[in-house]
Structure formats: C-alpha cells, structure tokens
Amino acid sequence: MFDTKDISGEQALLEAQKIAFAPVIFQCARLLRDWGIFNLLQVKKQPLTIQEISKECDITIYATQILCESGFSMGALNFEDEKYSITRIGYFLENDEMTKANMSYNHDVNYEGLFYLDRSLKEGKPVGLHHTFSKTEETIYPIITTLPKKAKDSWFGFDHFYSDAAFKSLVKIMSKREIKNLLDVGGNTGKWSIALTSASPTTTVTILDHKAQIDEAFIHAKEAGVKDRVKGYPLDLLDHSKPFPSDVDGVWMSQFLDCFAPSDIVNLLKRAKASLNENGRVYIVEPFWDRQSHEIGAYCLINTSPYFTAMANGTSKMYRAIEFKKFAEDAGLKVVEEIDGLGFGHTLMVCEAL
Ligand SMILES: C[S@@+](CC[C@H](N)C(=O)[O-])C[C@H]1O[C@@H](n2cnc3c(N)ncnc32)[C@H](O)[C@@H]1O
C-alpha cells in the first residue's frame, strides 16, 4: 500500500509538487465542478474553446483560463488544438458520489480550520473549530445541527454517505438477530434506528446522543412510522460517571468511537459492557484503514483524521482494527465475530463480556 520505492526521481519531484500545490489544485477542481465547467464538457461531448466555455458558464475569459489550465495540469481536462475536453479524472470529480461528498466536506467543513492543524496538534484542541464555527465549544458535536447550512449539509453528506452504504448490509444481518432492545450510542439523527426498527418490528432502539440530534431523529422516526420504537436518551457521552441505560440486549456504536481518544474509547466500552444483560453484546461498526481492500479507502480514512484534530475535538482519529481489539480487551470485552467489507469497507466487530 502506498508504495513509491520504484518511482523515478523526476516522478517523485512531480508528486512532491502535487502535494505542495494541493490546496490550489483542490480549489480549482472544486470550482471546475461547482461552476459547471465539468458538466458542460460532459454534456457537450465535444472539445470546447475557452471562449465557448466562458460564454456557456457565464464566467470571464480570465476565470475560465485560470480554472481550465489548472484542470489540464491536474489531469481532469485534456487540452488539444486550443480546446478543452473532460478526462476520466474530471468525470469522477463531477459524478462520483464519494468524491463529491469528500470534496464538499473538505471545503465546507475543514478547509479554513485546517490552517490551524499545527496548533490543534500541539494543544490537543480543535483550534480550527474555534477559528471557524465556534469559539467556545470543546468539540464540534453539540453544534453539528446548527452549523451554517452548507457546512451542515456537507458534514451530514459525508457521514451518511459512508454509514448509509454499510447500513444496507447491516440491516439484513442485524434484523435476523431478534434483538429486543438496542442502545444506539451516538445514534445521530436516527438513520440506523429507523432502518433497523423498520426492518425488525420487534426491536426498540434507544438513541444516546446530544439532545439536538435526538430531536431531529424523532422527526425522522415519526415520518418513517416507527416513532413508538425509537426512544432517546440525551446526555454528554464524555461524562463517564453517567451509566448507560441497563439490561439491554445490545449496544450499537457505528462510526462513533472514532470520535474519541483511546482512553475515552475504553471508558465508553466499559459503560457499554456494564449496560448489557446476560447475553448482551456490543456491536462496533467502524471503517478501519487496515481493513480496506484497496488504497482508495485507506487514503480517504487516513486523511480524515486531521479533521478530528483541527475541527472535531483535537484528540481522535480513524483507527486500525488492531487498535480497536486492544481497546475492547482493555474494557473487559472480547471480539467474538468480525465481518469485513460492509458498504465501502466497514467492519462489524461483535464483542462479549470477558
Ligand atoms: C460521526 S457521528 C456517527 C453517527 C452515526 N452513528 C452513523 O453511523 O452515521 C457521531 C455521533 O456521536 C455523537 N457524539 C459525539 N460526541 C458526543 C458526546 N460527547 N455526547 C453525546 N453525543 C456525542 C455526535 O453528536 C454524533 O451524532
């Protein structure tokens, strides 16, 4: 994975420039997408001049030149006989749902705050968050539903893009297990609770999260006709003195534990374990970067970690499965089942009390 030992010196120097200019390329690619240039070239199915693109997209000749020349250098546009056409890379930037979600999230949520990555890493605090969306919150989570509209949409677009895909397979797996009561810790706006209760009529799910997220989940649960079996329990999950509701069949933690530093993960798992009934299990769903079947997944995950540093909380990251096994063990749990390759590369780890 990420093996570069066989590339030539010249290739390596070019790759280094791609990194040195990455923020410039990123912004140009985003505008080629958002200002309709990729779309125009795709729809027209023929190469166009700068003048034609400028006129059709209603942007100046100068702006068109800046963006198209950058697009050519990044491999998203071809340039031949004074005309531009879209390449395969441009096609993915324009159409691929994962690329679109990643790009919008990186621009609308992370871009400005990442300028403060150095201070965030040194101070162990989301200094980027404090310079963008909130001067006072210790983490992004209490304010995700009240972020500016674009940031909110892109945050949820990113989160849901990955979890929705995994949930499709997970609903099939979990609805067969006849779970009566499940805690959905960090259940967010109810996507999982609604999916599971809709597929499994005897299951009740209780969401543990900030109140704002639970309020939104209730609206969605009502619309989906499962409000009677989607409950909510608002709390600050980082207050480890507060036990979870007890005597449950299962504790569900999806794309949740990566929001925390290792010591908090272990404490959260201990509280999960304490809430289980005799046959209860903890279900961890995570996209681990050491369990990806290709580099694309690992690349996206590894480079999501700086969001956690600068924007989310200053302490967490995307982890490897091997790290999570240790966290489970430290919390008095043992992993009894693992299913990889769910959605775009999530793993379900099922844990029992040791
Ligand atoms: C990344 S989202 C995961 C959402 C969902 N489980 C999924 O799979 O898409 C993490 C959730 O944990 C919640 N959360 C994070 N820290 C929290 C805290 N200290 N107290 C309560 N909820 C918290 C957030 O509000 C958010 O809904």
Contact 209 CB / ligand 1 (< 6 Å): yes
Q: Provide the 3-class DSSP secondary structure of residue 206.
A: strand
Quick: pLDDT tens for 46-105. 999 999 999 999 999 999 999 999 999 999 999 999 999 999 999 999 999 999 999 999
- In a domain, residue 3? The reply is no
- DSSP per-residue string spanning 103-163: HHHIIIIITTGGGGHHHHHHHTS-HHHHHHT-SS-SSSGGGGGGS-HHHHHHHHHHHHHHH
Q: What is the pLDDT of residue 269?
A: 98
Q: What is the pLDDT of residue 249?
A: 97
Side chain identity, residue 213: Q
Which ligand 1 atom is the nearest neighbour of the CA of 188? 27
- In a domain, residue 40? The reply is yes
- In a domain, residue 1? The reply is no
The mean pLDDT value for 241-255 works out to 97
Average pLDDT, the chain: 97
Quick: pLDDT tens for 296-323. 999 999 999 999 999 999 999 999 999 9
CATH assignment of the domain containing 113:
3.40.50.150
Atom 27 in ligand 1: residue holding the nearest Cα:
188
Do 76 and 176 reside in the same domain of the chain?
A: no
Contact 287 CB / ligand 1 (< 6 Å): no
Q: What does the block give as tokens for 204?
A: 């009740």
The mean pLDDT value for 248-265 works out to 97
The mean pLDDT value for 327-333 works out to 98
Ligand 1 centroid to residue 46 C-alpha, Å:
46
Contact 118 CB / ligand 1 (< 6 Å): no
Output Rg (C-alpha) for the chain, integer angstroms.
Answer: 23
* Ligand 1 mutation target, pool 256, 283, 315, most atoms within 8 A of CB: 256
Ligand 1 centroid to residue 289 C-alpha, Å:
20
Q: Is the pTM value of this prediction over 0.85? A: yes
Side chain identity, residue 207: I
Q: What is the pLDDT of residue 264?
A: 97
Do 134 and 35 reside in the same domain of the chain?
A: no
Quick: pLDDT tens for 159-195. 999 999 999 999 999 999 989 999 999 999 999 999 9
Q: What is the pLDDT of residue 178?
A: 87
Do 198 and 250 reside in the same domain of the chain?
A: yes
Q: Provide the 3-class DSSP secondary structure of residue 65.
A: helix
pLDDT value at 119 more than 90 = yes
- In a domain, residue 86? The reply is yes
Number of domains present in the structure of the chain: 2
Do 117 and 67 reside in the same domain of the chain?
A: no
Ligand 1 centroid to residue 43 C-alpha, Å:
40
In this structure, how many other beta carbons lie within 10 angstroms of the beta carbon of residue 283?
23
**Domain extent for 315:** 99-353
* Ligand 1 mutation target, pool 237, 318, 347, most atoms within 8 A of CB: 237
Do 230 and 177 reside in the same domain of the chain?
A: yes
The mean pLDDT value for 333-339 works out to 97
Q: Provide the 3-class DSSP secondary structure of residue 184.
A: strand
How many angstroms separate the CA atoms of 186 and 170, rounded?
Answer: 17
CB 110 within 8 A of CB 307: yes
- In a domain, residue 225? The reply is yes
Kindly tell me the sign of the dihedral angle through the C-alpha atoms of 327, 345, 140, 256: negative
pLDDT value at 8 more than 90 = yes
- In a domain, residue 28? The reply is yes
